[in-house]
Chains A and B, each alone.
Chain A
């Protein structure tokens, strides 16, 4: 039975369990007065309890089994392969296994399919079938077992509601813990692949090398076999573009927030806020398209008109557009912190005879500074991790330069480039992407943690 069919049948079983449990609870109870029984919980809780007892273990098994099914079957198939295939190199072996799986799944033999491969494919198919059968049997057995055991527990004094609520609580804890699992997953996946990468490329070469050219040879004997993985040009490129973006976004975003929260009347606010929300809601790929097709040519033409020679993919174009993208982010964060400054502080300044701008500059901004700094750090983390704009507008040339009119490349661009081409999973090129990902995650993590901490402390100060 395919998985969705198992799911539907299981669902029907659970509903059946619910009805059984509910009915049984009424049967074992005595009616006190009309519609009220001497049960500890309302009847439907007994139904829920049985459905949960039957559903949770069987669903869990179904999920795990489906998750690990293919890798286990594949490795079983692989271990039963004839010895001459076993002796092949790792890459070639995985190629053969892929071929076998394709063979099994399409069911079409072609000229390449030798006798052992066909046998292996048949073996693979039979293993898959056995796995599916076993899965079906185990899942249904568990569900039915759950219902039977549950029914034996249905007694008037049994605390079904507490049971159900305990389970609900654990399910909620599980959902909340997914956040931790995600972080854990990110750390493990980038760390594991990065460590492999640092086995072939020394850590210091990666961190301090100034030459980035990840073209590795396919064959050992090819010229220029190793490629170079010095990430400094990527770091400087990322920094350059982020710096341009922040020099645009921070003053404009901050002034926008100040104007909207301190000066603007309702009419201005009711227009400006939606505009900022639209800017914030436009997908980054649209910004990237605009940067590459409109802003970059504009900068090139303007530059040439005044005697400069910007390259067609300049850091400036990507940086400017990214800056505009971050404006709403900065302004909404600053808006929050500025309105958290107590009015009493402003009144104190007005009471001294300060004008509005003097009050803002000398009292409100200094008071809000920690919060604003936190917001800027978050914006920086956003700029560093932004991908689509730079992929589409900044280019691939790993130049080590501080000139915003030249093309630079960034960490995110390189991750995308390294992982979207066709290559095997274990080449240093692919692994380099994970090493870059590790760097990106670490830097943004540090920025986020600092800024979240700063902002939280700031809020506590005025609460």
Chain B
């Protein structure tokens, strides 16, 4: 099973989202196959580090100052269940990091929070999900409005095939947030400054966004997201495709942004979670195992699985 897991981590370098969804479904499959194998091979080879029962989430999943919350969250891809009964709160202006081995459902859960899973026909989400007390899956909630309020930054920088300026202006133009050209100019400038990209690109605003370096592209995507002035920003492994220097810049940016926005970040790097987040959630095979203050998770985890993961026994 350990080798199976390292195999799936190879698939970490997923090139685009569609593939990654397939992979996730495939991972689910391989896991369920693995489960069958496991029972048959029980006597020969029991993996004690990995096969520990999960009975609900341990730690402190709930907070007082709630921004977003999920109760009894299940997610299905067709017949396969990807997320099992997740209950968690995301506090106002905090950075919540989600960690766990590949295929554990953390990205899937992130996409629940702004209804990105709606774009996948076979995906079904149940449970109660709230943003500021409003049910985000209710009829009254418009996904367009929701996604303006809950922005998202993706694993691979995905600037649009437009100029830097148009990339940042995209959301504002879409939603009709600005009236005049000069307002738009201001917005673009403000967003780029906040994303720490202004100095680098201010003379090249009309060059294509795809021409920037990876780290710059990712900051452009962040600028694009904050131009709509969302309340929550979801980040799906935002630095996994970047070099360490670019990663450091993005991490600094995240901490800076947390003063104004609530941030949920999925990351593969435990160090990154430790560096930037206030709280850390550990996912395992679609279940939420433990949520605690980041310091506590990394120094004194409550659950044995969390401990095994952060000490590198698997993953």
Contact = CB atoms under 8 A, between A and B. Distances in A.
A and B touch in their complex, CB below 8 angstroms: yes
Interface of A: 265, 342-355, 358, 362-363, 366-367
Given A343-B18, A353-B175, A362-B170, A348 B158 contact: yes
B2 interface: no
Contacts of B95: none
A353 B17 contact: no
Contact of B144 (A343, A348, A355): A355
A349 B160 CA distance: 8
A463 to B, nearest CB: 9
Contacts of A348: 154, 158-160, 221, 224
Nearest to A355: B144
Contact of B154 (A344, A353, A358, A363): A344
Nearest to A266: B121
A350 B160 contact: no
Nearest to B161: A367
B69 interface: no
A265 B121 contact: yes
A186 to B, nearest CB: 38
Contacts of B162: 366
Contacts of A352: 147-148, 151, 170-171, 174, 224-225, 228
Contacts of B146: 353
Contacts, number: 82
Nearest to A345: B158
Closest 7 CB pairs of A and B: A343-B18, A351-B152, A353-B147, A353-B148, A342-B16, A348-B158, A344-B158
Interface string B79-99: 000000000000000000000
B154 A354 contact: no
Contacts of A350: 116, 119, 147
Given A353-B144, A363-B161, A347 B116 contact: yes
A363 to B, nearest CB: 5
A350 to B, nearest CB: 6
Contacts of B151: 351-352
Interface string B147-175: 11001111110111110000000110011
A353 B160 contact: no
B248 interface: no
Nearest to B228: A352
Interface of B: 15-19, 21, 114, 116, 119, 121, 143-148, 151-156, 158-162, 170-171, 174-175, 221, 224-225, 228
Nearest to A265: B121
Consensus secondary structure, chain B interface:
helix
Given A343-B17, A353-B174, 19 more contacts: A265-B121, A342-B17, A344-B17, A347-B116, A347-B152, A347-B158, A348-B158, A349-B170, A350-B116, A351-B114, A351-B116, A352-B151, A353-B145, A353-B147, A353-B171, A354-B170, A362-B170, A362-B174, A367-B161
A347 B170 contact: no
Nearest to A369: B161
Contacts of B143: 353
B136 to A, nearest CB: 13
Contacts of A342: 15-18, 158
A458 to B, nearest CB: 11
Given A344-B158, A345-B158, A345-B160, A353 B228 contact: yes
A351 B116 CA distance: 7
Contacts of B156: 344
A347 B234 CA distance: 13
Nearest to B173: A362
Nearest to B162: A366
Nearest to B210: A461
18 contacts: A342-B15, A343-B21, A344-B156, A345-B161, A347-B17, A348-B158, A348-B159, A350-B147, A351-B154, A352-B151, A352-B174, A353-B146, A353-B175, A354-B144, A362-B174, A363-B161, A366-B160, A367-B160
A358 B162 CA distance: 14
Nearest to A358: B174
A366 B17 CA distance: 19
Given A353-B144, A353-B147, A347 B221 contact: no
A354 B174 contact: yes
Nearest to B121: A265
Contacts of A367: 160-161
B161 A347 contact: no
B286 to A, nearest CB: 21
A65 B90 CA distance: 86
A350 B150 CA distance: 11
A355 B171 CA distance: 11
Contacts of B174: 352-354, 358, 362
B231 to A, nearest CB: 13
B250 to A, nearest CB: 16
A355 B119 CA distance: 11
Contacts of B161: 345, 363, 366-367
A267 B109 CA distance: 30
Contacts of A344: 16-17, 154-156, 158
